[in-house]
Structure 1
Amino acid sequence: MSTAVPESEYSTEELVEAFPCNLPDGVKQNVLNLGVSKRYLINPITFTSKKETIISEKELVNLCSETCEDTLEKADLSVKDVGYFIAAYDANPFLCP
């Protein structure tokens, strides 16, 4: 089994502050209470601009592909030995757990 995360790492606090609209204090506290201290994004965000970042599908596909290749190598398998891969990700413009 292999896992991979994008290189762009942010604390939840950084992302709450960079969110493109003002969140009520109660919502901010709920996000912080989720227990997720770090979040990883495909595209780096610009903290000076609160514009929504366009998600790069190419970078996401590359990350998933590299992880699948790594998994095969670690397990000493070829693509022909595997029926399917399961990949999970979250891709939306909303701050979520």
Structure 2
Amino acid sequence: MSDRSERPHALPGITVALATNCGRLYVTVNRDPVSGLPVEIFCRFGKAGGCGSAVMDGMTQMISCGLAAGMSPDQVVGGLRGISCHRGPHTCMDAVARAVEAAMGTQYDDL
């Protein structure tokens, strides 16, 4: 993997609000202004704190590191899309995959 490049002062991006089993999740996908590829992802729940927020923070930090090191957005989507839990199919992991798809222009009706 290559070294993480220096982040520009500002990046274009989208924020998608998605319903999940754990409540509303706001996923921000920021893109490289030249290539248009996602370079970082942030997630926030509609409610404060909790273990779920900590898990999502850690996961999105690792995804952002992977993207900076050359991981493709398709790999992110492929790794997260369809993950379900005991509450059903609309997990936070699946929501991140759907947000990346939306940022890449492969938007689905279930956003």
TM-score with structure 2 setting the length? 0.25
Q: Which has the larger radius of gyration?
A: 1
> Which has the bigger relative contact order, CA under 8 A and spacing at least 6?
1
TM-score with structure 1 setting the length? 0.27
